[in-house]
Structures are given as structure tokens and as C-alpha cells.
């Protein structure tokens, strides 16, 4: 396993739409393992392949307290949604920035597992938010794009300043 570099907003590669995985191979399983290690190290609760500059529809999520609930979703798609919730979100690609985003309260997602088998998962609360957030990444969208233009401009400025200071 290896740690992968995480792209930082506003890197244009974060806006690349990920391609479907045609076959679940050992290379995809290694990507999942590397993404999981990267997510845990960051630390975070979700990571999309797009965030590590791999433009395949692969997501890892673990919302458990003890890192025991790793969920890998290959070619995830939301097939049902209901309700609404507003949660404060953050993102490994937008470090130190948190803001409220409206999401569906419950979702049903269809995906492939690491054996290439299709499954459906009903999720609510934090898991539902995380799934929606990570699928947005696969579609080339970062959570800050739900915010006002003014907030987006301020975030870009703050991150650019932070990058200059640490460079």
C-alpha cells in the first residue's frame, strides 16, 4: 500500500469527470487499498479517485469511529433519494474549510464491490452525505461549488495564501 498525493482545490483536475470501471481487477483493488490508507492518514472519512488524480469511478468511505467500516464503491450511482438535511461539510481537497451544504437525507446507491458484484446500499445521515459528496467528486464537482460565488472566491484566496506561506 502507498500514500497517494491529494489534489487541492482549485486544481482543474478536480473537475474531470471520472470514467466507469470496465472490470474490477487487481489494479483496482490496489487503488482501493492505497486510497483507504491515504484517507485514514489524512485523516478523512471519504475519498474519491478523482482526488488522487485517478479518473475512475472509485470511492472509499469509512464513517465508523474505529476505522472498521471501510466501504469501497465502484461505479456508484444514486438510484433513489429522499428528504433533505443540511450538514457542515469539509473535504480533503479543500483543507481547513467547512461550510453547510444541503443534501438528501436518505439515498440508495448501486455499486460494484471489490469482487465486481453489484449491490445496493441504503444510507442515511452522515453516510448518505458522504456518498453524495464523493459521487460529486466523480462527476467533477467540489462541495464549495454549492456555496455562493463570494464564498468560493474567498476560499480560493485563503487557500492560495496558505499555499504561498507553506511553499
Q: How far is CA 140 from CA 13, 25, 99, 167, in A?
A: 8, 24, 19, 27
Is there a binding annotation on residue 91? yes
| Residue in 23, 37, 88, 134 annotated catalytic | 134
> Any known ligand binding at 137?
yes
Using CA atoms, how far apart are residues 17 and 148, in angstroms rounded to an integer? 22
**Strand segments (E) across the chain:** 46-48, 58-61, 71-82, 85-91, 94-103, 106-112, 118-124
Q: Is 89 a catalytic residue?
A: no
Q: Cell 474519491 identifies what position?
A: 48
Whether residue 55 is annotated as binding a ligand: the answer is: no
C-beta separation of 138 from 93 below 8 A: no
* Residues annotated in a binding site for Fe cation: 91, 133, 137
- Active-site positions read 134
* Residues annotated in a binding site: 91, 133, 137
Amino acid at each position: 500500500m502507498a500514500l497517494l498525493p491529494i489534489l487541492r482545490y482549485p486544481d482543474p483536475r478536480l473537475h474531470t469527470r471520472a470514467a466507469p470501471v470496465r472490470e474490477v481487477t487487481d489494479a483496482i483493488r490496489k487503488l482501493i487499498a492505497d486510497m483507504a490508507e491515504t484517507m485514514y492518514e489524512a485523516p478523512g472519512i471519504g475519498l474519491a479517485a478523482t482526488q488522487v488524480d485517478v479518473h475512475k469511478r472509485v470511492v472509499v468511505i469509512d464513517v465508523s469511529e474505529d476505522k472498521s467500516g471501510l466501504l469501497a464503491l465502484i461505479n456508484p450511482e444514486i438510484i433513489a433519494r429522499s428528504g433533505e438535511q443540511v450538514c457542515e461539510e469539509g473535504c480533503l481537497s479543500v483543507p481547513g474549510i467547512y461550510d453547510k451544504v444541503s443534501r438528501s437525507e436518505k439515498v440508495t446507491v448501486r455499486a460494484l464491490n471489490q469482487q465486481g458484484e453489484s449491490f445496493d446500499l441504503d444510507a442515511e445521515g452522515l453516510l448518505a452525505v458522504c456518498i453524495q459528496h464523493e459521487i460529486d467528486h466523480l462527476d467533477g464537482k467540489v462541495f464549495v461549488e454549492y456555496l455562493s460565488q463570494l464564498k468560493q472566491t474567498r476560499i480560493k484566496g485563503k487557500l492560495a495564501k496558505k499555499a504561498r506561506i507553506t511553499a
